Structure 1
Amino acid sequence: MHNSQSKSALLVMDMQNSVVSRFVGNEKALLPFQQAIEAARSYGIPVIYVRVAFRAGYPEISSRNKMFGGIASRAGTSAVPETMMHIHESLQPRPEEPIVTKLRVSAFAGSDLEVILRSLQIDTLILSGIATSGVVLSTLREAADKDFALTVLSDACIDADPEVHRVLTEKVFPHQAEVVSVETWVASLSS
């Protein structure tokens, strides 16, 4: 999991107010995310936040895109309020921690994430976020294809469907990533 020769980064994905408000019933669900962020910071592991956002008028959204196509028609030409794009207050980035804006499900889609990772010489990604079946799955697949070593923090991933979360973390993700709890990951950092 933690190789002293590797250079890791923690990705905190889609933890913006608009997403957290739809998926998280209480603040306790965010504790694993907070613990992962604190551990990464204390061990000098870069924390990179990823959010999805669009320009006013949604020129990036195709009507053919089943997941995002309805956003523009529901919102008209007005942009989503800026506060809904902010990272949830309990997981606030520090000024030096990048916030990457993506345009699709994967953290790499339409973003400068790969440039940042290359600049920091990152070869290992620790994934957390909402939703397990969305950003975590898409980012894991793309990152694996880009030859990153991967760890998924199973309790720092949330999905609307607990069974989908279970199947992904127990049966799908292990083919391309280490899947561990935040506690196990944090313990591995000190060994």
Structure 2
Amino acid sequence: MPELDMNKKTTALVVIDLQKGIAAQPTQPHPSSVVIKNAARLVTAFRKNTMPVFLVHVVSTPETMIRVKSDASFSRTGPMPPDWSEFISEIAPVPTDVVIGKKQWGAFYGTDLELQLRRRGMDTIVLCGIATDFGVESTARFAYEYGFQQVFAEDAMASMSAEQHHAAINFIFKRMGRVRTTDEILAAIG
């Protein structure tokens, strides 16, 4: 793979759904604890380098949830806990971060993510979060269509199964951008 080259002035980190209600779920191939640790390392490095950090979380309520007929859905045994959409403490927002609330899988549709990235002159995004093939992939597809360069932090994302994670990584993300480890991304931004 070619060496990772990113311009610090035009690269932002976009963290998808590392919130209490989602990060608490079991994930594969990386346990959520590993995803959280690596995402926190990226957040810390981007902040230290004064590079924008976008923290995205689901803020839908039972009244605003998308209700489509489907063969499979996410099952809930009851109401969501009050802190379900709060960010995990390891990446808690600081004043320089941009917080994006969404009501669907992807972080672009129905939000001002694109506007906020463009206003800051960003042309490249580093993506991480849970789940690889839901929130991260949906966001990545929009970013690709909007013309953003993308870097995917493979070990800072996971899904419900290793199969789902690897399918997104190997068949989708490698066609839309560059897949790298957290360490490779950190080395590229110094």
Provide TM-score, normalisation by structure 1.
0.85
Asked if the contact 1:61/1:69 (under 8 Å) is kept, the reply is: no
Percent identical pairs in the alignment equals: 23
Distance across 2 between alignment mates of 1:31 and 1:115: 29
Alpha-carbon distance, 1:92 to partner: 1.3
Cα-to-partner distance string for 1:41-96 (whole Å, 9 max, x where unaligned): 122211110001124x51x334325477977x954xxxx44411110112212122
Q: Tell me, what secondary structure is at the counterpart of 1:163?
A: helix
Gaps of 5+ in 1: none
Counterpart in the other structure of 2:18: 15
Asked if the contact 1:62/1:69 (under 8 Å) is kept, the reply is: no
Q: 2:60 aligns with which of 49, 54, 63?
A: 54
Distance across 2 between alignment mates of 1:156 and 1:105: 18
Gaps of 5+ in 2: none
Q: Tell me, what secondary structure is at the counterpart of 2:55?
A: strand
Counterpart in the other structure of 1:109: 109
Distance across 1 between alignment mates of 2:101 and 2:73: 15
Counterpart in the other structure of 1:38: 44
Distance across 1 between alignment mates of 2:8 and 2:39: 25
Provide TM-score, normalisation by structure 2.
0.85
Q: Match for 2:154: what amino acid?
A: S
Asked if the contact 1:130/1:136 (under 8 Å) is kept, the reply is: yes
Aligned length: 183
Distance across 1 between alignment mates of 2:59 and 2:48: 29
Q: Tell me, what secondary structure is at the counterpart of 1:84?
A: coil
